[in-house]
């Protein structure tokens, strides 16, 4: 790998900037409220299984472990994410030590810590939290395997990749990266033809067998959900530049503009000319390329036809950051860290003062207060069941904060409630009962009742009555969130 960077003489700006960023994450961990994703995956942990409707079980196991230790509370959920991400950071540092030394090794760590990606992983529960942990572990195992050729590392590689898959199905990309690395490297091809890759694959299959068994028992519902519709949409090849531009925008946020531009500049070969001498690349460089380029450019290509989510490319940045570090100068590092610091300060202002209303249910603000209001309504109708219909968000939050109540989701009125539908696939026991329906209004001008047709409610219930809405105000008295409330009678499951 080429070394064009220099030691940072004026290092205080970078070092203190990184310290401030890390401290801001610590403060946010204690300050930020429950995100819908936190609550939804907590629901997983309440109903541990071999797998789940939309993801494998590792995120549920993670939350179950930490809530068993720290109790069922918001801080325990945040500690799970934070501690796991610290683990990922330590693994990243250990991997980087195989490629970098001295100040460059420190630079790689600072680049990693400066990203918004680490903040997202630290503060919001998603399957990406364990995914990145086991992805980094897999990177270490794979590298040790190809450099030592010891059978134990090949075995651990299969186990680590399996655990990555058990975190999120995109873990299978590790097998593809390993296969490509071994196939196209003359020095390593012997491992593809020998026992090594077979051992990796066998151990991988054994490790993921619980997920496979669950899918077999449930008509492959999880694999179908994660693949069939997406493959169908992508295969239409309907060009949509808005998706591509949106993907560029989200990645500029995830790793910040300076780092993203540098990664793209290097990997496209601009200035570095990395692809001109591809046959003479070292094993180290080949390794880093195989676990970054296919993922980054593969998803960039897909984004021409399909909306690529913010987090899909995250694993590739583990090796991409290590690859790009030798090309980072002092000024580039300062711009990266200062940009990150500005983003984190803005985030802290938003969390503490909520000056900008997020017109979405993807927010931490107001859920506990909503639960308090719903609990008060429930005292007037103690025998009614409660449900919502926005995929999972409102239902998951109420499930977390109203621990004594059974909360249902959109499957009550024929919509798919994701894991809620798996937990309560048979709703016949609710027949004839009355219900309270909570409907989140993401955008609103009127604080009163709204005349909105609810044909599904009329279809599944004998009568529909709109009660006074729940409106939540900030400390200044500004209305920030609104929920319509309906009292429904005589449920008629169909």
Given a contact cutoff of 8 angstroms between Cβ atoms, the answer to whether 55 and 43 are in contact is no
Same structural domain, 135 and 24: yes
Task: Write the pLDDT tens digit of every residue in 409-428.
Answer: 999 999 989 999 999 999 99
Asked if 77 and 210 sit in the same domain, the reply is yes
Strand partners, 213: none
Does residue 359 lie within any of the structural domains? no
> Which range of residues forms the domain containing residue 216?
12-236+326-353
161 and 103 part of one domain: yes
CA pair distance 393, 399, nearest whole angstrom: 10
Supply the pLDDT for residue 230.
65
Token pair 């994701």: residue: 418
H/E segment holding residue 409: none
Q: Are 357 and 476 in contact (CB under 8 A)?
A: no
Same domain flag for 202 and 341 = yes
63 with 114, same domain? Answer: yes
Does any domain span residue 171? yes
Q: Are residues 339 and 434 in the same domain?
A: no
What pLDDT shows up at residue 273? 66
pLDDT digits (tens, 9 = 90+) for 15-38: 999 999 999 999 999 999 999 999
Domain identity same for 50 and 83: yes
Q: Name, in order, each residue with C-beta under 8 angstroms of 342's C-beta and a sequence gap of 6 or more.
A: none
Residue 2 confidence (pLDDT): 47
Does residue 266 belong to any structural domain of this protein?
no
Give the Cα separation of 388 and 444 in Å (integer).
18
Phi, psi of 255 (to 5 degrees): -115, 0
Is the same domain home to 399 and 338?
no
pLDDT (0 to 100) of residue 476: 86
Residue 205 lies in a domain: yes
Maximum distance among all alpha carbons in the chain? Answer: 75
Structure tokens, 66: 């930490």
Is residue 280, in this structure, part of any structural domain at all?
A: no
Q: How many domains does the chain divide into?
A: 2
In this structure, is residue 289 part of a structural domain?
Answer: no
- The answer to whether the beta carbons of residues 137 and 89 sit under 8 Å apart is no
Specify if 45 maps to a domain: yes
Q: Which residue numbers in the chain have pLDDT < 50?
A: 1-4, 6, 8-11
In order, the DSSP letters of 260-328 are: HHHHHHHHTTTTT-TTTTGGG--HHHHHHHHTTHHHHHHHHHHTTTS---TTTTTTHHHHHHHHHGGG-
- Asked if 72 and 211 sit in the same domain, the reply is yes
Asked whether residue 247 is assigned to any structural domain, the reply reads no
In contact, 343 and 258? CB cutoff 8 Å: no
Q: Is the pTM of this model over 0.85?
A: yes
Handedness of CA 119, 120, 124, 128 (dihedral sign): negative
- Does residue 99 sit in the same domain as residue 47? yes
Claim to verify: residue 349 and residue 447 sit in the same structural domain: no
User: Could you give the C-alpha distances from 308 to 217, 227, 283, 299, 484, in angstroms and in order?
Assistant: 30, 13, 31, 7, 32
CA distance 413 to 395: 14
Q: What is the pLDDT of residue 225?
A: 84
Token pair belonging to 484: 């319509």
Query: Among 463, 469, 452, 451, which residue's Cα sits nearest to residue 487?
Result: 463
Indicate whether 344 and 384 sit together in one domain. no
What are the angstrom distances between the C-alpha of 306 and each of 31, 73, 128, 201, 260?
35, 37, 20, 30, 21
């Amino acid at each position: 790998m080429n070394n064009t960077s220099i030691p940072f003489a004026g290092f205080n700006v970078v070092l203190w900037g990184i310290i401030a960023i890390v401290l801001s994450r610590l403060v946010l961990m204690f300050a930020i409220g429950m995100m819908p994703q936190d609550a939804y995956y907590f629901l997983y942990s309440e109903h541990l299984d071999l797998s789940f409707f939309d993801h494998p079980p590792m995120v549920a196991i993670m939350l179950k472990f930490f809530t068993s230790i720290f109790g069922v509370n918001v801080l325990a959920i945040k500690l799970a994410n934070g501690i796991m991400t610290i683990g990922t950071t330590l693994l990243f540092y250990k991997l980087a030590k195989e490629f970098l030394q001295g100040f460059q090794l420190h630079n790689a760590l600072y680049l990693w810590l400066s990203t918004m990606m680490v903040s997202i992983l630290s503060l919001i529960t998603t399957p990406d939290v364990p995914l990145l942990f086991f992805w980094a572990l897999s990177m270490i195992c794979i590298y040790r395997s190809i450099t030592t050729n010891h059978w134990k590392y090949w075995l651990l590689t299969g186990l680590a990749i399996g655990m990555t898959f058990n975190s999120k199905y995109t873990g299978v990309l590790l097998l593809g990266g390993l296969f490509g690395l071994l196939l196209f490297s003359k020095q390593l091809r012997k491992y593809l033809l020998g026992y090594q890759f077979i051992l990796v694959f066998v151990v991988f299959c054994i490790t993921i067998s619980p997920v496979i068994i669950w899918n077999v028992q449930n008509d492959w519902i999880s694999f179908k959900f994660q693949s069939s519709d997406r493959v169908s949409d992508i295969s239409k090849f309907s060009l949509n530049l808005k998706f591509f531009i949106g993907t560029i925008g989200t990645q500029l946020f995830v790793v910040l503009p300076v780092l993203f531009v540098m990664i793209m500049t290097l990997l496209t070969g601009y200035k570095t000319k990395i692809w001109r001498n591809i046959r003479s690349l070292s094993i180290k460089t080949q390794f880093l390329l195989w676990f970054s380029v296919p993922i980054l450019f593969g998803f960039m290509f897909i984004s021409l036809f399909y909306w690529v989510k913010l987090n899909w490319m995250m694993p590739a940045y583990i090796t991409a950051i290590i690859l790009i570090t030798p090309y980072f100068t002092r000024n580039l590092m300062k711009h990266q860290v200062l940009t990150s610091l500005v983003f984190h300060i803005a985030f802290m202002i938003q969390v503490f003062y909520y000056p900008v209303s997020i017109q979405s249910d993807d927010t931490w603000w107001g859920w506990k207060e909503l639960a308090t209001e719903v609990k008060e309504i429930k005292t007037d109708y103690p025998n009614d069941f409660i449900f919502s219909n926005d995929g999972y968000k409102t239902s998951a939050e109420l499930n977390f904060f109203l621990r004594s109540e059974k909360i249902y989701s959109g499957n009550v009125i024929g919509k798919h409630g994701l894991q809620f539908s798996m937990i309560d696939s048979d709703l016949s026991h609710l027949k004839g009962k009355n219900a309270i329906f909570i409907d989140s209004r993401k955008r609103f001008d009127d604080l009163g009742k709204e005349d909105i047709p609810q044909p599904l409610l009329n279809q599944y219930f004998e009568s529909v009555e709109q009660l006074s809405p729940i409106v939540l105000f900030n400390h200044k008295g500004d209305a920030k969130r609104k929920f319509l409330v309906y009292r429904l009678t005589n449920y008629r499951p169909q």
